[in-house]
């Protein structure tokens, strides 16, 4: 590590020394005919020797520009561009005058046979709401990916997880030749496409096709990147295959191949590993997000389950998983009017886990649990997409999707509950379940532009139909004690079958009428119908019949819920260059019917919700904007929360639904301000407040024997608060680039539950428990890169968690967590890449007896060989210090919960990767990145 730090300092000093003598350029731009000064012209300066970009700016209202920090000892190339005008080019030798005076641009002749000279293409061009980067003006490593190219572009930032922002605005879509690449995840294109095939990168506001056709101006809060390919690179094949093996029988296999042939795109992928990741991250070096998650390449829920593109991977819970997946994605254009898409994904995950849990309740009870089990989850998803231009003014899109899943689990457990040192109960459990689920969903939309400009009508239909069948065996042997002496016992030996069906249909009709050049009104009507049925039959084991033949009515129920909603809508929309506004609202007229076939009882609820919505946004010409928004939405209770059926999957914690539940209604108001300057300084801030009416919460009743029951009710008083602020500064020069960020985040809110757990002994009264929590964190982030030799990243974030419980609650929810990461990549000597990643976490709330500070150090060394560096061999070490921990502590208003789980610990792995790259008639440079062989990160 000392070598890395010293080398970083030396290279930094060299970079600063080389740029010590700086010049500046000033001037103004005007029309050669009218002599009028021109605002928003793009002024760029390149190194004349290799055409690499040095800096750029836009002219102000008076047509003026000022460029600083230019090298004094180099010949420069000045380019000035403006839509509809010829690009102005001037060579500036050392000693050139600082003030260039007034520069005149001549209108473009737009001749059909005009030859565009590559060298005269400006690195950056502004065309209305689109920023266009000329990829050839930004030098990247021979085998770089699109992500590496984006890092070179002014105003573009990519964080450790691969999320992209342009001038502070989040990129939500990445298109290739105007089409989505392998679904809607922006990272798939940026981490898979070689930079060498890119011609231009275009940045624009995210719009639907309908909005684009109507000329609707957006507020610019999210952006779309479109990658266009070089003419000779639109037909080709690229990808990579990889295989690795390591200690403790660790392995990973993965491959992905993509091909282009004009508008036709086809990608095929497959992977398998037992590293607790979904694959396509070949080698963790260079994938910081994975390392933080212990090898995971995607986000993970609290219970260990994870998903990709809507597909669930793993059966949930902690443990070790072996994941296998395969799939393909196909895009094409037929007759220039029909865009089609088809994709298929399959995955199979086998998992095993072992969990130890110790829970201390505020009423003095203590529960110790030991669980172990296995699980299997297999998923299939088939998607189709069609977008067709029926005529010049009518567009139709249809997107059906089919899913099929199989899940099975086995688990054994032992629970014991104590109070004041005396045993209250013990519970030995054996559980086994299996289920299958099918789901069909679709979206059909048709829109038509009418004769008057801006007038349109649109009709949308969507459905979601699912069916789940399953069975479960539930065995529980319980013993109860009085003053530590055995008092009674009970055995539950049941088999249950369940069938759940859900149907949801929604139709929305909208009509838009322009009332001025910038204002339009939209009136709409929506109708939703949904029906859910649940049929659960539970049978006890009959010793006489030697089978599960004794129907248990207490845990048997057949239940149906029907929800209908009518939703008239009205909104006024303003679409201007600086201001955008959407002011309107909806009325929800809801009817909820619940019926139990078992008890032959039912009832109906009527509810009316008024949901006003508005958004005001202002965007100035200096990359600054603010917005103010308000909206409301409903959340329907699930059928499990509604049906009055006891669920004894955990016999010491029964759950029962409440058919009287109402839909919850959440409102949110937020304000944000962003400012980004061409000099690289950015300020981003936002605040928000979100209250919920009729929030669905829990009532937990503790019993004297140590068991408890949970049911659901509606309550008011719940809300969330949030505030964020970030200050950033970045600099991109020819030989180096750096970025520094300071940020502040605050989250808070009030949560409400009902329970008797916190009562004095013997008091069984259910009381309302209000908890206020606050999470406050500050932090700093910095990156530095020197040429193609060194990349360095440093992060530090202390977080303060404060929780205020009501009087009588003994748990303490206050703690501090420090998180620091240090990453470095050295591309030396030639053909080698050496990466280190250190992640240190210090948590004051860790379980007593375990270290509060944990340092995870991962290291990788890679060597590239063969022609054009097509192959790489690497050795990777996960958790060099062997400090990975599986212990966590959760504190709530009811208890302190300490959990210890089985995880993937230290391993070493050797991986071989081969890159495929064929474009046109012959093979080109292998499309890999030296810093690791990763190629598919989610």
Give residue-wise pLDDT tens across range 92-109. 998 888 899 999 999 876
Domain identity same for 281 and 215: no
**Given this model, what pLDDT does residue 112 score?**
36
Domain identity same for 231 and 279: no
Which of residues 182, 202, 237 is at a domain's end?
237
Give the range of the structural domain holding residue 360, as residue numbers without chain letter: 256-648+663-690+717-723+831-923
| pLDDT (average), residues 125-138 | 80
Q: Is residue 307 part of a domain?
A: yes
Residue 734 pLDDT > 70: yes
**Given this model, what pLDDT does residue 463 score?**
98
Residue 424 pLDDT > 70: yes
Consecutive H or E run containing 18: helix 2-18
Alpha helices in 441-497 (DSSP H): none
Number of domains into which the chain is organized = 2
| DSSP β-ladder status, 815-826 and 832-843 | antiparallel
CATH code, domain with 161: 2.60.40.1120
The pLDDT > 70 percentage for the chain reads: 86
Domain identity same for 471 and 430: yes
Domain identity same for 326 and 205: no
Domain identity same for 316 and 204: no
More confident residue, 272 or 58: 272
| DSSP β-ladder status, 624-635 and 42-47 | unpaired
Which of residues 174, 206, 237 is at a domain's end?
237
**Given this model, what pLDDT does residue 936 score?**
30
In whole angstroms, what is the distance from residue 869 CA to residue 925 CA? 8
| pLDDT (average), residues 686-690 | 94
Q: Is residue 916 part of a domain?
A: yes
List Cβ neighbours of 536 (8 Å cut-off, separation of 6 or more): 496, 497, 498, 499, 555, 556, 557, 558, 645
In whole angstroms, what is the distance from residue 866 CA to residue 804 CA? 62
Domain identity same for 215 and 360: no
Q: Is residue 817 part of a domain?
A: no
Judge residue 928's burial from the number of C-beta atoms within 10 Å of its C-beta, 0-12 exposed, 13-18 middle, 19 or more buried. Answer: buried
Which of residues 191, 209, 237 is at a domain's end?
237
C-beta separation of 575 from 214 below 8 A: no
Q: Is residue 797 part of a domain?
A: no
| pLDDT (average), residues 13-35 | 72
List Cβ neighbours of 735 (8 Å cut-off, separation of 6 or more): 15, 18, 19, 786, 787
C-beta separation of 798 from 778 below 8 A: yes
Domain identity same for 334 and 203: no
Start-to-end Cα distance in the chain: 29
Domain identity same for 437 and 565: yes
Q: Is residue 92 part of a domain?
A: yes
Whole-number average pLDDT of the chain = 83
Is residue 730 very low, low, confident or very high in pLDDT (cuts 50, 70, 90)? confident
Is residue 745 very low, low, confident or very high in pLDDT (cuts 50, 70, 90)? very high
In whole angstroms, what is the distance from residue 574 CA to residue 514 CA? 10
**Given this model, what pLDDT does residue 212 score?**
58
Which residue carries 């970079």 as its tokens?
A: 15
Q: Is residue 381 part of a domain?
A: yes
Three-state secondary-structure class, residue 681: strand
Domain identity same for 32 and 107: yes
Consecutive H or E run containing 15: helix 2-18
- What DSSP letter does each residue of 531-596 carry, written as one string? EEEEEEEEEEEETTTTEEEEE-GGG-EEEEEEEEEEEEEEEEEEE-SSEEEEEEEEEEEEEEEEEE
What global pTM score does this model have?
A: 0.79
Domain identity same for 211 and 333: no
Q: Is residue 749 part of a domain?
A: no
- What DSSP letter does each residue of 99-151 carry, written as one string? EEEEEEEPBP---TTPPPPGGGS-SEEEETTEEEEEGGGS---TT-BHHHHHH
Three-state secondary-structure class, residue 486: strand
Which of 203-212, 606-615, 639-648, 691-700 has the highest average model confidence (pLDDT)?
691-700
Domain identity same for 635 and 563: yes
| DSSP β-ladder status, 306-308 and 653-656 | unpaired
Domain identity same for 33 and 151: yes
Q: Is residue 768 part of a domain?
A: no
Cis bond before residue 829 (omega within 30° of 0): yes
């Amino acid at each position: 590590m000392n070598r890395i730090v010293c080398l970083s300092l030396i290279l930094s000093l060299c970079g600063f020394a080389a740029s010590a003598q700086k010049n500046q350029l000033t001037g103004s731009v005007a029309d050669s005919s009218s002599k009028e000064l021109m605002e928003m012209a793009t002024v760029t300066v390149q190194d004349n020797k290799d055409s690499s970009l040095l800096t750029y700016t836009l002219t102000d209202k008076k047509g003026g520009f000022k460029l600083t920090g230019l090298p004094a000892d180099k010949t420069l190339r000045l380019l000035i561009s403006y839509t509809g005008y010829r690009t102005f080019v001037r060579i500036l030798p050392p000693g050139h005058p600082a003030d260039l005076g007034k520069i005149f641009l001549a209108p473009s002749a737009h001749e059909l046979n005009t030859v565009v000279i590559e060298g005269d293409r400006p690195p950056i061009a502004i065309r209305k709401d689109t920023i266009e980067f000329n990829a050839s003006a930004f030098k990247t490593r021979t085998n770089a990916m699109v992500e590496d190219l984006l890092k070179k572009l002014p105003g573009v930032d990519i964080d450790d997880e691969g999320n992209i922002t342009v001038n502070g605005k989040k990129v939500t879509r990445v298109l290739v030749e105007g089409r989505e690449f392998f679904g809607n995840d922006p990272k798939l294109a940026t981490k898979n496409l070689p930079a060498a095939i890119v011609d231009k990168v275009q940045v624009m506001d995210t719009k639907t096709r309908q909005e684009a056709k109507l000329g609707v101006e957006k507020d610019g809060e999210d952006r779309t990147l479109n990658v266009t390919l070089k003419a000779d690179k639109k037909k080709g094949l690229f990808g990579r295959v990889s295989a690795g093996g390591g200690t403790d029988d660790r392995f990973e296999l993965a491959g992905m191949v993509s091909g282009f042939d004009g508008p036709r795109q086809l990608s095929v992928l497959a992977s398998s590993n037992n590293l607790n990741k979904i694959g396509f991250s070949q080698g963790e070096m260079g994938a910081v997000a994975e390392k933080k998650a212990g090898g995971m390449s995607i986000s993970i829920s609290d219970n260990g389950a994870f998903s990709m593109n809507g597909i669930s991977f793993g059966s949930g819970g902690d443990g070790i998983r072996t994941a296998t997946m395969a799939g393909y994605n196909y895009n094409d254009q037929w007759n220039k009017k029909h865009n089609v898409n088809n994709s298929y994904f399959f995955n199979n995950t086998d998992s095993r886990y072992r969990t130890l849990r110790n829970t201390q309740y505020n009423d003095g009870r203590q529960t110790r649990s030991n669980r172990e089990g296995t699980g299997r989850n297999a998923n299939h998803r088939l998607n189709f997409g069609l977008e067709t231009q029926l005529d010049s003014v009518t567009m139709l899109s249809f997107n059906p999707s089919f899913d099929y899943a199989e899940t099975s689990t086995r688990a054994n457990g032992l629970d014991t509950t104590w109070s004041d040192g005396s045993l209250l109960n013990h519970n030995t459990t054996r559980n086994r379940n299996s289920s299958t689920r099918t789901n069909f969903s679709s979206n059909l939309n048709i829109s038509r532009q009418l004769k008057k400009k801006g007038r349109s009508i649109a009709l949308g239909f969507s459905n979601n139909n699912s069916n789940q069948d399953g069975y479960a065996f539930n065995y529980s042997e319980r013993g109860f004690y009085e003053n530590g002496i055995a008092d009674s016992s009970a055995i539950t030996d049941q088999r249950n079958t369940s069938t759940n069906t859900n149907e949801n249909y929604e139709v929305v009709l909208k009509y838009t009428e322009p009332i001025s050049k910038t204002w339009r009104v939209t009136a709409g009507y929506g109708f939703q119908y949904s029906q859910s049925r649940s049929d659960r039959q539970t049978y006890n084991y009959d010793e006489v019949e030697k089978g599960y033949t004794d129907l248990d009515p207490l845990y048997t129920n057949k239940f149906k819920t029907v929800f209908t909603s009518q939703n008239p809508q009205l909104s006024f929309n303003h679409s201007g260059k600086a201001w955008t506004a959407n002011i309107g609202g909806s009325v929800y007229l809801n009817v909820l019917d619940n019926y139990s076939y078992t008890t032959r009882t039912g009832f109906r609820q009527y509810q009316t919700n008024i949901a006003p919505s508005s958004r005001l946004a202002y965007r100035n010409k200096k990359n600054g904007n603010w917005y103010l928004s308000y909206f409301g939405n409903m959340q329907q209770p699930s059928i499990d929360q509604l049906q009055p059926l006891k669920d004894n999957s955990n016999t010491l914690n029964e759950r029962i639904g409440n058919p009287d539940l109402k839909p919850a209604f959440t409102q949110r108001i937020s304000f944000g301000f962003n400012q980004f300057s061409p000099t690289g300084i950015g300020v981003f801030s936002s605040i928000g407040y979100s209250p919920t009416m009729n929030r669905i919460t829990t009532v937990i009743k503790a019993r004297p024997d140590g068991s408890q029951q949970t049911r659901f009710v509606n309550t008011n008083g719940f809300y969330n608060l949030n505030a964020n602020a970030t200050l950033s500064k970045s600099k991109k020069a020819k030989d180096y680039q750096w970025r520094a960020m300071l940020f502040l985040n605050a989250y808070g809110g009030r949560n409400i539950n009902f329970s008797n757990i916190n009562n004095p002994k013997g008091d069984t009264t259910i009381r309302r428990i209000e908890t206020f929590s606050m999470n406050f964190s500050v932090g700093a982030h910095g990156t530095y890169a020197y040429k193609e030799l060194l990349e360095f990243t440093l992060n530090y974030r202390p977080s303060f968690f404060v929780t205020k419980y009501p009087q009588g609650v003994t748990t303490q929810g206050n703690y501090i967590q420090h998180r620091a990461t240090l990453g470095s990549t050295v591309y030396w000597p030639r053909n080698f890449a050496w990466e280190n990643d250190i992640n240190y976490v210090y948590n004051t709330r860790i379980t007593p007896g375990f270290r509060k500070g944990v340092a995870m150090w991962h290291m990788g060394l890679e060597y590239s060989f063969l022609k054009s560096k097509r192959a790489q061999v690497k050795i990777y070490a996960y958790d060099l210090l062997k400090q990975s921990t599986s212990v966590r502590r959760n504190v709530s208003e009811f208890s302190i919960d300490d959990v210890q789980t089985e995880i993937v610990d230290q391993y070493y792995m050797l991986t071989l990767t081969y890159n495929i790259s064929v474009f046109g008639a012959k093979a080109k440079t292998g499309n890999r990145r030296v810093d690791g062989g990763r190629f598919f990160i989610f």
